[in-house]
Structure 1
């Protein structure tokens, strides 16, 4: 999702798949780096009411938009560095190997790279983060939903990738962010991500394999 894309809830009739892809793109962008000025401004004016009253994501989405309106961009940038940057081990690690194997660059990353190679995907040139960064995994899901190659971008592949490479550790990441006293904007983001992943998991559980 680029910074010019709309941040909205969409009804199922008006494009549920597009909405799913956009959410994954948004998560990828916000977990990879602080929001750009353009995305920050979009978040501040985003609609917070879901099309159907009581929709599960409405509460956490509203909290994320509320944090965007309450905080200034430099505060969010400083929070990102405090949580995920700095010298040495960060307060919160954004790589799946840490949660699955207790250290970076372990067997889960090897298996992920093999899976990405089978899908015809590879890390873009210039990207230093390994492929198991949460942003990279969300970007893969966005591609598996919105890509044009139906041999790769299909529901069965989405289900398999999500269950294997996101579902097994994403809650741990969201809990780790929420446990940080300095987390504000990113606590709201983690809550929204956790709720969205729960909806995805429930949907995939209903898919016949």
Structure 2
């Protein structure tokens, strides 16, 4: 599977598809590992305009990044996602779909990834149904040079099969956890973005 790429913020003239890919890439980066201070500062200096749900969620994250300290965000990340034993918040699709890790939903995902010609990079320790990995697959599909992979039909099929049924529950679990501070606006942005994606796919 492709690995998370450095975030490049889209300009207005780059188009909606680039903006979608960038946002998937940013969510993948924030959820796969604690962000660096450089990334926090970059997000904090980004423009935040508009009054829609997605724009408001983005503005909240920009504001959070303006005062965020990488060391404290790392501590929060480790508390939420890397605790001893079971993590405080699960980011794995199989957990929400079946109640267990490494179950049938993961097997089905691996089959589809194989059909897409994708496989997990040996450097990635998380299983393929980790939310960050799935966001990275969506980013890949949007930016792929393969017209079949990049088609909205392929994107919709993948999103519907492997994200749509559980991402809202995951965002709720993250946003409502008492230890969630920096990652609360991350969860709100993810929820708003995924809702927009679902509405757009339903219109096809």
- Following superposition of structure 1 onto structure 2, how do residues 36-55 of structure 1 map, counting pairs within 5 Å? 36-49=36-49, 53-55=50-52
Instruction: After TM superposition, give the deviation of residue 4 of structure 1 in Å.
Output: 5.4
- State the match for 1:100 in structure 2: 97
Instruction: After TM superposition, give the deviation of residue 120 of structure 1 in Å.
Output: 0.6
**Would you say how many aligned residue pairs link Structure 1 and Structure 2?**
201
Instruction: Pick one of 161, 167, 174 that aligns with 2:164.
Output: 167
Q: Does 1:133 align with 2:130?
A: yes
Instruction: Pick one of 111, 116, 119 that aligns with 2:113.
Output: 116
Instruction: After TM superposition, give the deviation of residue 55 of structure 1 in Å.
Output: 2.9
- The DSSP-based 3-state class of the residue aligned with 2:147 is coil
Contact 1:3–1:38, Cα closer than 8 Å, also in 2: no
Structure 1 vs Structure 2 CA RMSD: 1.4
Q: Distance in 2 between matches of 1:14 and 1:33?
A: 27
Contact 2:24–2:136, Cα closer than 8 Å, also in 1: yes
Instruction: After TM superposition, give the deviation of residue 66 of structure 1 in Å.
Output: 1.1
Q: Which runs of 4+ in 1 moved over 3 A?
A: 1-4
Q: Does 1:80 align with 2:83?
A: no
- State the match for 1:23 in structure 2: 23
Ranges in structure 2 where 5+ consecutive residues have no aligned partner: none
Contact 1:48–1:62, Cα closer than 8 Å, also in 2: yes
TM-score by length of 2: 0.94
Q: Distance in 1 between matches of 2:176 and 2:187?
A: 11
Distance 1:103 1:4, change over 3 A: closer
- State the match for 1:156 in structure 2: 153
- The DSSP-based 3-state class of the residue aligned with 1:65 is helix
TM-score by length of 1: 0.92
Instruction: After TM superposition, give the deviation of residue 36 of structure 1 in Å.
Output: 2.1
Ranges in structure 1 where 5+ consecutive residues have no aligned partner: none
Contact 1:109–1:131, Cα closer than 8 Å, also in 2: yes
Q: Distance in 2 between matches of 1:152 and 1:14?
A: 20
